[in-house]
Amino acid sequence: MDAQTVYKPSLLESYATPAPMTDLSRLADRLGDLPDDLTGLVEMLQGLLVHIFWAERYGLKLDEARQAEVQLRPAWQRFSRLFELDASPLRVPRPLQRRLVSNCRDFSLMLVALLRLQGKPARARCGFGTYFRPGHYEDHWVGEVWDAGRWRMVDAQLDALQRQVLQIQFDPLDLPPGAFLTGGQAWQLCRTGRANPRHFGIFRWHGWNFIRGDLWRDLLALDRFEILPWDFWVALEKPLSRSPKSTWEAVDRLASIKVDNEADLASLRTALAEGNFYPPEEWAG
């Protein structure tokens, strides 16, 4: 398939344009002098954020107020809070106690927001990482950056400590095939019996409903509305165990959606609207 033909400029322009969760225009006067390369942006973010589940590994104890920073949805609110903690330019790494408490979604969202600020096509993806625990598909988010005619998957969270602890042998700025599965890929893998849905999730939450939730989040992210990992709304209220066969088949169709061209994006938006899958718009702040 000819990527230059499929990925038309208008589609790439859509992913290069800020959307509700990634619009940083109100902070434009504080976001100058950014690295103009992917490696530099990722390294910069790793010096500004601390992952909530890894904080103690770095020797940082978080009280409830600091932990609540992961509840900030749009990127502009996250950067605003970062500047409240430390008003230094973004290129200046923060001491641990003044880094913004974040999770995998936040690393991905903030990277995508900065790339779109620079006019570069990027999008967040929700699904499952295979590199956290053997035989387990961990709930996770990564970013995708358009590079040399393809979407390049990037895990901005994996700094030197995490790579060492997890024994990462691949380039986190260019994930190899199979390292990360989108929500749709995970659903299809389980529906065809090639994987056990109980192996997908995080902590005590696993199974079909969890996979469906990540599928919904991934589809919304493809439509440039990146919600929190635990956001819950009407589309997720009915457990799949109580759903008819037609509901499962409807999810099958959604899981097969790929946004590789403008028609795909239009089909995705139609499916989300007809299924009442959109969460409240006010979540964008």
Domain locations along the chain: 3-284
Instruction: State how far the Cα of 192 lies from the Cα of 155, in Å rounded to an integer.
Output: 27
Both structure tokens of 41? 């942006």
Instruction: State how far the Cα of 278 lies from the Cα of 234, in Å rounded to an integer.
Output: 9
Nearest to 277 by CA among 241, 250, 258: 250
Q: How many CB atoms lie within 10 A of CB 86?
A: 16
Instruction: State how far the Cα of 31 lies from the Cα of 178, in Å rounded to an integer.
Output: 35
* C-alpha 9: how far from chain center: 23
Cβ atoms of 85 and 29 within 8 Å: the answer is no
Cβ atoms of 151 and 222 within 8 Å: the answer is no
Question: Tens-of-pLDDT digits for all 285 residues of the chain?
Answer: 333 334 456 889 999 999 999 999 999 999 989 999 999 999 999 999 999 999 999 999 999 999 999 999 999 999 999 999 999 999 999 999 999 999 999 999 999 999 999 999 999 999 999 999 999 999 999 999 999 899 999 999 999 999 999 999 999 999 999 999 999 999 999 999 999 999 999 999 999 999 999 999 999 999 999 999 999 877 777 788 888 998 899 899 999 998 888 788 888 999 888 888 888 888 877
Q: Give SS3 for 205.
A: strand
Q: What is the number of residues in the chain? A: 285
Q: What is the pTM of this model?
A: 0.94
- To which residue do tokens 């999810």 refer? 251
Do the strands 137-147 and 122-129 form a parallel or antiparallel pair, or are they unpaired? antiparallel
